[in-house]
Amino acid sequence: MKPLVAIVGRPNVGKSTFFNRMIGERIAVVEDLPGTTRDRIYGNTDWNGREFTLIDTGGLEFGSNIPVGQVGLTGQPGDIMKHVQAQAELAIEEADVTVFMVDARSGITASDEEVAELLRHSKKPVILAANKADNTARRQDAVEFYSLGLGEPIVISSIQGTGTGDLLDVIVEALPPEDEEAEDEDNEDVSRIAIVGRPNVGKSSLLNAILGVERTIVSDIPGTTRDAIDTELQFKGKKLILIDTAGIRRRGKVGPGIEKFSVLRSIRAIERCDVALLLVDASEGLAAQDTHIAGEILEKAKGVVVVVNKWDLAQEQQRAERRGEYAHPKEEIESAEAYRRIIAEGLKFIPFAPIVFTSAKTGYHVPSLLETVQLITEMRYLRIPTARLNEVVQDAVRRHNPTVVRNKVMKIYYATQTQVNPPTFVFFVNDTQAVHFTYERYLENKLREAFSFKGTAIRMFFKPRSKVELK
């Protein structure tokens, strides 16, 4: 679990420039799938051997191109300042370390002073960075930022790169200690579950419904971050760990207009889970944030269940539209199937994900949801014998020859499973440049036809091998 470092500050102080310099092109992109675009506000980086996730809150600003003091979002002055304050408050709550960035060129502003006042009350480390100190005079003038009461300003120029190493040194020193204890990793008898989704889709209600299904709660246990609490319980003889239950309950504080930041906690939970429950509000349908989160789940090769919550409310709405006419049970089923097709189309890049209709309020389908989680966990630990795996691969090749790529034809010598949780396969081939993504997808489909892997992503790698082709 990587610690989280948030960069906050008013618009145009250089947050995004610093972020891009630190992350660069190291942000992984999986094809052109939804949720894996390059416009992220977060990315993983490392310094002196320590990895952490860097957050550019500038990506959250609705009016970041509007100078402070001019008219903002709603036509009222001061909107931008409200957003900056919201960033600071969220950083205090969510991040392990906050970097407060100011502009050495313009000096201290009223906005800086207000944000500094908020940050001084944080119990977590706050680092003051004076950006745009592009010459000696500005570096010397940066001393005025001492008056913000946040300690010595680290003087940097994100464009030139000067001082950024010093800032990273201070960031790494302020990070919490690396986790030393294993978290029941690689234990097929334990399912680590993350409840993720947009604000107000019912995450807290689903959590309470799950805890109400099986009340043999073992304990609330510390998570890997300073303020995360996980909840452990038993279901049908197997242990379930619900990740960051405290964070789920606290997420209701996130107000409108800053949804993207609230998704960050979901991303951190996804990193730690085996299976993610992606909640979708039945009355609202899929939104862009849902596909972003689904993309994260796929990229991190996790298990996933798409949970269509508030299904009872959606059905009531449909009945109201029919002016109270009685709906035959067959019509209700057809309605669910139609909705399932809509969800599947919107999330077609995770076709392996089961879709479960629930009502956290009434407990509808919650037990079957937990059974689905346990099944997916079993799939994630499924190990395929090498001989059987190669039978399936050979049959796939016989049925459909590899695509010609740059006048090259891929030859698969053999395949082997190298890992579980997630299931990971290595194909030894004559030339990795001859692997076409459509054929890779074809092979994945054949593996799923043979072994299911329901509800979980799988990983496939191709490595060069100059040996006799399988016959």
Taking only the tens of pLDDT, the chain with its 471 residues reads 678 898 888 878 888 788 888 876 433 322 333 333 334 467 778 898 898 888 876 534 333 333 333 333 343 435 655 666 666 676 667 789 999 999 988 899 888 888 888 888 888 899 999 999 888 888 888 889 999 999 999 999 988 888 999 999 999 999 988 764 344 456 777 899 999 988 778 888 888 888 875 433 334 444 444 445 678 888 888 889 988 655 555 544 444 444 555 566 677 789 889 999 999 988 888 988 889 889 989 999 999 999 999 888 776 666 555 555 544 444 555 678 888 999 999 999 999 999 999 988 888 889 999 999 999 999 999 999 999 999 999 999 999 998 888 888 899 999 999 999 999 999 999 988 889 999 999 999 999 999 999 999 999 999 997 544 444
Cα separation, 331 vs 310, whole angstroms: 18
**Mapping DSSP to helix (H, G, I), strand (E, B) and coil, where does residue 3 land?**
coil
* Tokens read off for 67: 């100078």
Distance of CA 431 to the CA centre of its chain: 33
In degrees to the nearest 10, what's the CA dihedral of 230, 233, 237, 239? 0
Nearest CA to 263 out of 198, 320, 311 is that of: 198
Please choose, from the candidates 119, 115, 112, 111, the residue with its C-alpha nearest in 3D space to the C-alpha of residue 93: 119
- Measured CA to CA, the distance from residue 378 to residue 371 in angstroms comes to 11
Q: How many helices (H) and strands (E) would you count in the chain?
A: 14, 18
Could you give the CA distance from residue 46 to residue 383 in angstroms, rounded to a whole number? 33
Whether the bond into 354 is cis, omega within 30 of 0: no
Pull the structure tokens for residue 314: 């959606």
The DSSP secondary-structure symbol of 143 reads: G
What is the rounded distance in angstroms from the CA atom of residue 150 to the CA atom of residue 128? 6
DSSP 147-195: GGSS-SPEE--TTT-TTHHHHHHHHHHHSPPPP-S--STT-TTEEEEEE
Cα 11 → chain centroid: 25
Rounded to two decimals, the pTM is: 0.66
Please, which residues bridge with residue 231 across strands?
A: 220, 242
Instruction: Check residue 198 and give its pLDDT.
Output: 81
Which residues make Cβ contacts (< 8 Å) with residue 109, sequence separation at least 6? 10, 68, 103
Domains and CATH numbers, the chain: 4-174 (3.40.50.300), 190-379 (3.40.50.300), 386-464 (3.30.300.20)
Q: How many CB atoms lie within 10 A of CB 154?
A: 23
